[in-house]
Chains A and B, each alone.
Chain A
């Protein structure tokens, strides 16, 4: 790089320092406070003061990044007079990126490094890893920010536009029935695809704005960027899983796993217990259905009613809930949100069944996802596909998979003579490490995983809505590893965090889960964290015998019940 370029970069950084030094100092102080409180305070990085300082630092960093990029003398818009100053565009970009990395991102990375050091040591590679992540993050975010700045002219307007777009996209997703802005464990693919498309589009937009001087074309490109981002969120998760499977398929492992589907059917009706769980109504008005007690097999019919709340926050549709005090003994409840019961008629039918898995190691774990149920006739033609309003929930386990779904009686009757097919996406996970983490709130290094922290919290209004209970909140931050899942055992209880299949080089992933117990129970002094790596992603279909999982009369007939489904 020639001397005059370095002079220009130095001049711009010096100017930015003069403009922003008070903010930089404040941000560094906040980060230092975050590090000190997290490393020495009660509760570690998840204590309220540490969380507040951490959040403040992150927001402040974001604001400062935007301000540095868009400050009025430089990125004032496409028609700003800075364009007639002798500033090479690459020098400008370098100056901005360097300033942000050194004075915004570096303090954040150092704070994280300090916390790590205070809690068991942090390798130099960890710090470099963190800085590398910051560099990549800045390189990905800055072009889009500059596009916003170039089009809107001022920081206020740019932030306003970003907020409007964010809210608009969120509202659009909700309107389209997407309650979440992620695609679960395979969301990293969306992120990668989105970045892969938006980054060159941002560069194109910058070229259009600053080189071609065309704001209209710049706006059009920004519209495409937003559209691509939205479309990325709308990509069906099954497609993404197929891509994940292509990228990391392990056929040998997959062929070992066999699934069988025994017949199982519970008729259920909404359960109504007006006295049950008056709290939480406003936040989680779940519909809860009761079911017969017992294990999986031919169904019984029970009488039940509707109620609109649940005792604990459900993990997903069809999850088993704890019956409230005073509920009939043997009652089994599953959670459903009202929208999941829409179109199912006044007395929907809830099925719960169990897929047996063989061939996997007892220590392995299987995650089931993207379950689709289809009724097909004897020739393999689809009778109902997919059944209207099907909602399925699943829970992975070492030896089997529990599945629940809800359907209207009419749908079941229409498909009475057909066989039921379930399509699954499966991920086989194998344990790669087991760590004992003291529940003292401090961060502990977990070689091969990253860092883990277990801290005690309790009572409503914290992380759990419901009656007061002790909850050991366990957070494991993945660093330079490809761990896809953790489960946590505290005493006799086990819980697992949401899986994430992203490759180790792509992103830092935080696994968070809680293991709860009654207040009267002694709090375990330590938890055991087991880390799993995804070793195979594959697809399976299970076909049940005709009528085995449906029919004009549920419970199924004896003949159907005697002819259980076979795995394929």
Chain B
């Protein structure tokens, strides 16, 4: 595992931002760290690169305790954050000149390619760049040294759709060679590159699994009941706890099945709703899955 956390927790005064996080990211994976605002995504990433210290538990990054990461380890780690601070009086050229000397493995060809693709103006001062351009500069600066691990904290925030595509395209081009942990609200964009998903809610890890597994077990289900099954106002019977956000719309009952195992088992479970006229179980996007989970946990409160 390139990242392993055990009981990782961070408390800010009375607020527990991350609680007992056990995360494992295999080498070569692209983990999407998702969750609502305040779920603990940024805190988790900052703990992984030792920007903040865990209150308890520990994290191993590239086999090293995160609290003991040295400058040599940081030659193998890229970190891009939406709160990235760049030396505003340096031009883009000067910034890359500076970084080049810090990384022995710097690939100038890749740097040129990225800067060209992302259309970074060479003579413009970093402080004069828009937020989106700064993010692009940060990303372009995090890739040429070919990090083994790339941590991205909301790299797409504030970017317009066109730039998002450019950024993701650049990222995808490198994805196979490195492990990526990306925290983002822009789930539609990261879905294409994520191989694993971890969902955080109020500092707790609800699940972590492969994208394939997640896509396979989540279904947006619509069960149409026959007219003989009762009135539209009839309350729903007790339902499996793997069904999220159930609601009745006329003769149709809609819910998200989080343990979809095929049409036959679903039909068997749905039979408790009444006589079934039709069942429609559609695959869900990462965005929809995330939305369903957030909605379900909001209703739990």
Contacts and interface: CB of A to CB of B under 8 A. Distances in A.
Interface stretch (B71-79, B239-247, B266-274): B71-79
Interface stretch (B101-109, B182-190, B209-217): B101-109
Interface string A200-216: 00000000000011100
B102 A11 contact: yes
Contact of B51 (A74, A83, A89): A83
Contacts of B90: 15, 18-19, 73
Interface in B82-133: 83-90, 94, 97-104
A213 B43 CA distance: 13
B87 A19 contact: yes
Contacts of A214: 53
Given A87-B71, A87-B102, A81 B84 contact: yes
Contact of A14 (B51, B77, B98): B98
Contacts, number: 77
Contacts of B99: 85
B49 A84 contact: yes
Contact of B103 (A10, A82, A86, A213): A86
Interface residues on A, range: 20 to 34
Nearest to B74: A86
Contact of A4 (B67, B79, B89, B104): B104
B216 to A, nearest CB: 36
Given A73-B87, A79-B46, A15 B94 contact: yes
Contacts of B86: 73
A71 B75 CA distance: 23
B87 A83 contact: no
A127 to B, nearest CB: 32
B87 A84 contact: no
Contact of A73 (B50, B71, B83, B85): B85
A385 interface: no
B9 interface: no
A295 interface: no
A212 B104 CA distance: 28
A88 interface: yes
B81 interface: yes
Nearest to A15: B98
Contact of A11 (B49, B79, B101): B101
Nearest to B49: A84
B89 A19 contact: yes
Contacts of B206: none
Interface in A13-47: 14-15, 18-19
Contacts of B104: 4
B68 to A, nearest CB: 10
Interface string A42-71: 000000000000000000000000000001
B71 A213 contact: no
Given A7-B101, A11-B101, A79-B46, A72 B51 contact: no
A212 B53 contact: yes
A79 B85 CA distance: 10
A86 B50 contact: no
Given A73-B86, A81-B85, A86-B72, A8 B101 contact: yes
A11 B97 CA distance: 8
Contacts of A11: 98, 100-102
Contacts of B52: 79, 213
A86 B102 contact: yes
Nearest to A88: B71
A82 B86 CA distance: 9
Name, among A14, A15, A19, the residue most crowded by chain B CB atoms within 10 Å (CB to CB). Answer: A15
Contacts of A213: 50-53, 67
Nearest to B142: A84
A363 interface: no
A340 interface: no
A11 B79 CA distance: 20
A473 B130 CA distance: 58
Contacts of A71: 87
Name, among A79, A83, A87, the residue most crowded by chain B CB atoms within 10 Å (CB to CB). Answer: A83
A16 to B, nearest CB: 9
Contacts of A88: 70-71
Contact of A8 (B51, B81, B94, B102): B102
A76 interface: yes
A404 to B, nearest CB: 59
Contacts of A89: 71
B260 to A, nearest CB: 40
A84 B51 contact: yes
A14 B74 CA distance: 21
A303 interface: no
A80 B52 CA distance: 10
Contacts of B98: 11-12, 14-15
B171 to A, nearest CB: 18
A76 to B, nearest CB: 5
A85 B109 CA distance: 21
12 contacts: A4-B104, A8-B101, A14-B101, A15-B90, A18-B89, A73-B86, A79-B51, A82-B85, A84-B74, A84-B79, A86-B103, A89-B71
Given A19-B89, A73-B87, A85-B74, 10 more contacts: A11-B102, A14-B101, A15-B90, A18-B90, A19-B87, A73-B90, A81-B79, A87-B102, A213-B50, A213-B67
Interface of A: 4, 7-8, 10-12, 14-15, 18-19, 71-74, 76, 79-89, 212-214
